Structure 1
Amino acid sequence: MSAFIRYQIISYVRSLKFIPPVVIFFAWVFILYAYKNVPILSSYAVSSIVMYLIMTWITMSIFTLDEESEKHILISHLKRKVSYLFGKWLTILIVMIPLLLFAIFFPIITDSFKGNMSIQLYAYAFYSHLVFMAFGILVGTLFSATKLATKKYAWLSSVFIIVVSLASKSIIEISLFFKWILWVFPPVFKVIGYMEGEDQVLINTPVIIDSIFVVSYLIIGAVMLVPLFIKKES
């Protein structure tokens, strides 16, 4: 597996497909912290949303690295199709680590925040970014590693999912009927809903319940993607 991951990282770097999403991410973060004394949580909320978009992009790029013939050879070497999927996910996680660290620590190093960081703020900042990265990986995998990847508008469909999930709060306000439809979309507001207002995080019952829901959503989503991937490759 380690050799496969190393091969994937080298292939991704050589393909230069990492340049557009990474450059856009760095540029966005630089612009976000161009001014000093910005609020902590709302700024991290914005960078988390950006990570959602970027990780979807990176995931789809990494899953489309291999030609079909090359993919079959790699799967035969790995012995199991699911190992190929997990190897791709691990590759994506390795790629996302420097982006995560940059998003968290750049504003701290440049002293851009108007307040001081606390353990709770650090914890929730890492949590929000990791969750939104995971959302991006799920969406990207759905539209690049399942039968939906063969559809003509896979990229547009992934953008649609992202836009609807980010607009879900406003959509539900139009009609409660949409609440029963939008639960299948990534529950972004169960994370960034607590990043509005003052720069403090209260670890209370609603936060814990929503966090459990979000983690459960991610686990169920990942589990459901496995048979969808295997079905595509069968």
Structure 2
Amino acid sequence: MSAFVRYELLNFIRSLKFIPSSVLYLTWVFIMYAYKNVPILSSYGASSIALYLTMTWMAMAMFTMEEEGEKHILFAHLGSKSKYLRGKWLAIFISMIPLMLFAIFFPILTGSFKGGMTSEYYVLALFCHVIFGIFGVLVGTLFSATRFATKKYAWLSAVFVLVCSLASKSLIETAAFLKWILWLFPPVFYVIEHMGNEFIVNKEFWIDMIFVILYILLAAQIIVWLFLKKER
């Protein structure tokens, strides 16, 4: 598995497909911290949302690197299609680490924040970026490695999911019945609502975090099943 992950990372670097998404994300972070005395949590919330979009793009780029013939050779070499998927995910998450660390530590090193960092802020910033990165990878995988990955509508469908998940709170306030549909989309606001001016650990926070983790586990299992069904 480790050899496959290294192969994927080197292949991804050589393809240069990581450049557009990475450059746009780094540019976003630079612009966001061009001014000093910005609020800590809401700024991390904004960079987490940008990472959500970036990792969707990056996941779709990585899953479309190989042709069908090359992919089946990798299946045979690994001995398992699920290992292929897990290896791809691991390679994508490794690719995410530099972007995530840059978004967390750049404003600290440049003194852009209003107020000082605390251990709770570090944990929350890391958690928020990781969760949003996972959301992005799941969306990207869904529309590039399953039967939803139709060449004509894959990117449009991914953008639709991203927009609906980010605007879910406003959509529900506009039409309450949509909450029964929008629970299918990544629950980004269950995380982002806690990235306000003040961080409070209460019962609502833990309920939201448990729901987010359960959503990720269930969504990952469904995507694995859809991937294996497509590759039969």
The one-letter code sitting in structure 1 at the alignment partner of 2:7 is Y
Please list every run of at least 4 consecutive aligned residues from structure 1 whose deviation after the TM superposition is greater than 4 angstroms: none
| Residues 1:217 and 2:218 aligned together | no
Supply the distance in 2 between the matched residues of 1:75 and 1:115 (Cα, whole angstroms): 51
The alignment's TM-score, normalised by the length of structure 1, stands at 0.98
User: 1:145 offset after TM fit, Å?
Assistant: 0.6
Of the structure 1 ranges 46-55 and 115-124, higher mean CA displacement relative to structure 2 is found in: 115-124
1:141 is matched with which residue? 141
| Alignment partners' CA distance in 2, 1:10 and 1:127 | 27
The equivalent residue for 2:108 is: 108
1:96 Cα offset (Å)? 0.5
The TM-score normalised by the length of structure 2 is 0.99
Of 220, 224, 227, 2:225 maps to 227
Deviation string, structure 1 residues 151-193 (Cα, Å, up to 9, x no partner)? 4110010000000010111100112101111000011110011
Give SS of 2:148's match.
Answer: helix
Q: What are the residue-to-residue correspondences of 1:58-207 with 2, within 5 Å? A: 58-196=58-196, 198=197, 200-207=198-205
Instruction: Report deviation, 1:150.
Output: 2.6
The letter for the 2-side match of 1:124 is L
Identity in percent: 60
Classify the secondary structure of the residue corresponding to 1:144. helix
Alignment-mate amino acid for residue 227 of structure 1: W
**How many Å separate the matches in 1 of 2:113 and 2:212?**
28
Corresponding pairs, count:
232
| Structure 1 position 16 matched with structure 2 position 16 | yes
Other structure's SS at 1:148 match: coil
- Structure 2 residues without counterparts, runs of 5 or longer: none
Shift of 1:201: 1.6
- Cα RMSD for the two superposed structures: 0.7
Q: Which runs of 5+ in 1 are unaligned?
A: none
Q: Distance in 1 between matches of 2:85 and 2:150?
A: 17
